[in-house]
Amino acid sequence: MTADVIIVGAGVTGAAIARELSRYKLSVLVLEKEAEPAFGVSKSNSGIIHAGTQNPPNSLKGWLAVEGNRLIREELAADLGLDFARCGQLIVVFDPADLPELEKIKKDGEALGVRGLEIVDRAWLDANEPNLGPEVKAALLAPSAGIISPYRFVYALVENAVKNGAVLKTSRKVTAIRRPAAGGFEVVAGGEVFRARFLVNAAGLYADEISALAGAPAFKITPRKGEEYLLDKKRGHISNRILFPLPSGTSKGILIIKTSDGNPMIGPTARDTADKEDLSTSDEGLAEVLAGARRMIPSLSKSDIIAYFSGLRPVSGKDFIIRHEDGAPGLVNAAGIQSPGLTSAPAIAVMVADILKKHGLGLEPRENFHRLRPRPVHLFQVPPEETRRLIAKNPAYGDIVCRCELVSAQEIRDALKRGARTLDGVKFRTRAQAGRCHGGFCTTRILKIMREELGFPVTALTKRGPGSELIKDERKWPSEELDRSS
Amino acid sequence: MKERELVIVGGGPAGMAAALAARASGVGDVLLLERDQHLGGILNQCIHPGFGLHHFKAELTGPEYAGRFADLVGRDRGIEVSLRSFAVGLNREKELSYLRPGALEEVKARSVILATGCRERTREMIPIPGSRPAGVYPAGLAQKMVNLEGWLPGREAVIVGSGDIGLIMARRLALEGVKVKAVIELQKVSRGLVRNVVQCLEDFGIPLYLRHRVSLIHGRDRVEKVDVVKVDEEFRDVPGSGFSIPCDTVLVSVGLIPENELLEMAGAEIDREKNTPVAPSVNLTSIPGVFACGNACKVYDLVDWVTRDSELAGRLAAEYLGLGKPPPARDASE
């Protein structure tokens, strides 16, 4: 069986492309090497939906970010039931001598189509961001920026794509790509061979390797590590908008981010690394992040930190690589998708669909395209009346498993029904274990629910796929044997 | 909204002792909320003996100690026990809401006792840098897995922190055939009871590295090894002292944090460092009629002291309600 399109990678880029292509009468197959979507680059994303400033004019980033921002704000947030909060962003300066640079960012942003940009002074900041330290002199306000849960964005895109006929196969690492004489592609993944007329490469950190396997001219992905530190939810009030310092050459700087789940987050660092699998954090990273964040909000302290993680940005040069590879006809690369990749994803998807169309893929709209995806239930986001209504519908919504984040047993079962297969998959979909006790109290209960719903023994349950098994052995109590015999 | 005389949040040893003491002092109606499926709190997973040496003059296991209170609570018709009930809101007017399967309940309490215990400090809070593989567990979680579920988290373990939970789990894992390679302690003495160092480590030949810290955890999907380094009196790493221990499991036992988020939600004053209520004396909070007891007030090393502390809180609540005799004045330094 030959698909119309195979997409390699179910991160935000691949998921957005899958959802976009699922509008049309096409057979779309997504191959993801990890156990679940979003387990690569996307899960470590900070979740910022950028206003679209700070991108070079005449770059793909420049217009794709603005268009992606618009698509999320005006369509996808509502259609896909995303928890998008349009909180706005501020780029602050500590030195009045930097005001011209701020002005330039404003002008360049306006040229790219960013609206509502405004330079605000100390008086405005005192009224609207009272926790900012006295070193901050002024800022550029971008009201169209917002915050989203990056992995829940990916799940929403994937679920809707699948609902509209796309097929997702996980734990399928692409190891070879062949070009049959008759045309198209033969993709070997997880020991199986898949065929397609067109191939879209959205393989994140490994996009260079996939492109090479497909016979396209080489480019290189250099991982750039960013460490992020999550603060206790109790400190959620420290800022109202996403706070940026002036950008440097390689990064947007240490930010103070209002995550969509309520915990402030500080970071990221930006350090090139050679290892595509190195997700370790460091004492130096912590020091750098804390110093940068405290320059903007001095009252932050190390004791506010409850968690940390790092991510690797798939960097290839200064811009996205989104093009048909004439040297490997039928291959479209969507690579080097670093910041503002999450924001740009919906626009990248439209661009890729367009490129495919130009190269012979017929795009005939599907009659029953399910545009809408209902927002999943998250008790921590709903008011008491809604909670009562949910519990009346299903009592298990009142059975609290994760107390730090208020996640009920039913939400965990819902997540498993929607595709979670691993403990991390449950965590990213529901927030269970992401709170201050880090699963100290809820993990056994979650594993029991997983065992029940998935039908696996507890020793087969993993944190994030094969190799990360959580329990090495299970002992049976003698009483179980007695019970069975009576 | 239904009115209750006394609502107690937490059905562990603290909540149960407070309930019984309040009743003994004349409180007629006590609602005891417990989020788990049984009373007993953390004692339910502490199957080792050593509880009750003072209070009962006997050497009981955790469940036995808790069981004695649960029996008394069960037989007291003035105490309504609501299991699988999780308190989600409290305000200064002592209006409390809680979730249980099938309902979101709201009550107006005339008095409240918070017996919400502690949570464990996690690896992320120390922090221990490195990768984030499967196999890193808070020691209390590992205890729950082994003792209540019969699950072995790993086969070769290193334990970070020599507090009592870490020491108890070193022995527990060793008894289950896990190779416990080391307990790593930052301070120059173990933080746990001396009898635990002897009975859990020395008796099992488990090495204790004092003045050491785990500097890095290795392993992509599952723990593979930890790097350990010696520290000096100022807790600086001693150059050249680093070594590695191959293992597949890391248990983290680095302290307990009192749980007072509900109290904080109600607007009471909380000590930001210790996460405990700020008040003129123990068991009080800055909200009149709202009391705290047990580990939520202060991290006790013996449950016998939790019981004593909680009985006083029960009597204080009764006094607040205009019943019973006030307990003897108590020194905050106890």
When scoring B9, B84, B86, B96 by the number of chain A Cβ atoms within 10 A, the one with the most, hence best to mutate, is B86
Query: How many C-beta atoms surround the C-beta of residue B79 within 10 A?
Result: 22
Gap from B64 CA to chain A (nearest CA, Å): 19
Question: In 3D, which of B225, B221, B157, B145 has the Cα closest to residue A471?
Answer: B145
Mean pLDDT of chain A, nearest integer: 94
Residue A474 contacts B, CB cutoff 8 Å: yes
Q: Greater confidence, A413 or A279? A: A413
Region A46-67: what's the mean pLDDT?
A: 94
A399 CB neighbours in chain B (<8 A) are 84, 100-101
Put simply, the answer to whether B127 touches A399 (Cβ < 8 Å) is no
Q: What is the pLDDT of residue B107?
A: 98
Helix (H), strand (E) at residue B215: strand B212-218
Q: Token pair of A157, please?
A: 């895109």
Rounded to whole angstroms, the Cα distance separating B231 from B163 reads 18
Q: In angstroms, how far is CA A111 from the centroid of its own chain?
A: 28
B49, β-bridge pairs = B61
CA distance B270 to chain A (A): 12
Which pLDDT score, from 0 to 100, does residue A486 have? 35
Terminal Cα-to-Cα distance of chain B (whole angstroms): 38
Phi, psi of A104 (to 5 degrees): -65, -45
Residue A49 bridge partners (DSSP): A146
How many CB pairs below 8 Å do chains A and B form together? Answer: 134
Residues of A in contact with B84 (CB under 8 A): 399
Beta-strand runs (E) in A316-442? 321-324, 331-335, 400-402, 407-408
Contact by Cβ (8 Å): A11, A37: yes
CATH class of B122-252: alpha beta
Q: Is the pLDDT of residue A219 over 80?
A: yes
Nearest to A279 among B132, B134, B141 (CB): B132
What is the per-residue DSSP string for B41-52?
A: GGGGG--SEEE-
- Cβ-based contacts of A461 with chain B (< 8 Å): none
Measure in Å the smallest separation between the Cα of A244 and chain B Cα atoms: 25
Minimal CA separation from B123 to chain A, in Å? 8
CA dihedral A471, A228, A342, A374 (to 10 degrees): 50
User: For residue A250, what pLDDT is reported?
Assistant: 66
CB contact under 8 A, B221 and A406: no
Report the predicted TM-score, pTM, of the whole model to 2 decimal places: 0.92
Task: Give the rounded percent of residues in chain A with a pLDDT score beyond 70.
Answer: 98
Q: How many angstroms separate the CA atoms of A428 and A150, rounded? A: 9
One-letter amino acid at B237 equals: D
Q: Is A359 a catalytic residue?
A: no
Mutate to test the interface with A, among B248, B261, B271, B274 (most CBs of A within 10 A): B261
Model confidence over B213-266: pLDDT tens digits?
999 999 999 999 999 999 999 999 999 999 999 999 999 999 999 999 999 999
Given a cut of 80, whether residue A249 has pLDDT beyond it is no
Which range is least confidently modeled, A141-145, A376-380, B168-172?
Answer: A376-380
What is the pLDDT at residue A80? Answer: 98
Give chain A positions within 8 Å (CB) of B262.
Answer: none
B135 backbone dihedrals φ, ψ, rounded to 5°: 110, 0
Nearest chain A residue (CA) to B138: A440
Listed in sequence order, the residues at least 6 apart from B205 whose beta carbon sits closer than 8 Å to its beta carbon are: none
B264 at A interface, C-beta within 8 A: yes
Please check whether residue B84 touches A, CB under 8 A.
yes
- Region of B177 (left: φ > 0; alpha: ψ -120 to 50; beta: rest) is left
Mean pLDDT of B268-292: 94
| Interacting residues of A419 by C-beta distance below 8 A, sequence separation 6+ | A36, A37, A155, A158, A159, A425
**Which one is catalytic: A50, A359, A370, A378?**
A50
Asked whether B303 and B193 are in contact (CB, 8 A), the reply is no
User: Could you tell me if A265 lies within 8 Å of chain B, comparing CB atoms?
Assistant: no
Interface predicted TM-score (ipTM):
0.94
**CB–CB contact A388 B151 (8 Å):** no
CA pair distance B11, B74, nearest whole angstrom: 12
Domain boundaries, chain B: 2-119+256-320, 122-252
The number of beta carbons lying within 10 Å of the beta carbon of residue A127 is 9
Q: Do domains B2-119+256-320 and B122-252 have the same CATH topology?
A: yes
Give the model's pLDDT for residue B329. 61
Does A277 contact chain B (CB < 8 Å)?
Answer: yes
- Min Cα distance A460 → chain B (Å) is 12
Q: B103, A391: Cβ pair inside 8 Å?
A: yes
* Arithmetic mean of pLDDT, B140-154: 96
Alpha carbon A423 to its chain centroid, in Å, reads 17
pLDDT value at residue A337: 97
Give CA separation, A294 vs A135, A140, A242, in Å: 10, 19, 14
Which of B82, B88, B251 is the best substitution to test chain A (most A C-beta atoms within 10 A)?
B88
Least Cα separation, residue A57 to chain B (angstroms): 38
**Which positions in chain A touch B254 (Cβ < 8 Å)?**
none
Report the pLDDT averaged over residues B121-142: 92
Cα dist. B48→B36, B198, B300 in Å?
21, 15, 17
Residue labelled with tokens 């896909």:
A80
DSSP letters spanning A205-267: GGHHHHHHHTTPPP---EEEEEEEEEEPGGGGGG-SSEEE----SS---SEEEE-TTS-EEEE
Domain B2-119+256-320 is of which CATH architecture?
3-Layer(bba) Sandwich (3.50)
> What pLDDT is stored for residue A247 in this prediction?
83
The conformation of residue B36, written as its DSSP 8-state character, comes to: S
CB contact under 8 A, A403 and B100: no
Q: Which of A100-104, A444-448, B324-328 has the lowest mean pLDDT?
A: B324-328
Which of B:275-334 have CB within 8 Å of A?
none
Chain A positions touching B123 (Cβ under 8 A) are 438
Name residue A324's amino acid: H
The residues, ordered by sequence, that sit 6+ positions from A200 with a Cβ below 8 Å of its Cβ are A5, A6, A7, A8, A14, A17, A331, A332, A334, A352, A356
Residue A126's identity, in one-letter code, is: D
Which residues face A28 on adjacent strands? A5
User: Are A260 and A298 contacting, i.e. CB atoms less than 8 angstroms apart?
Assistant: no
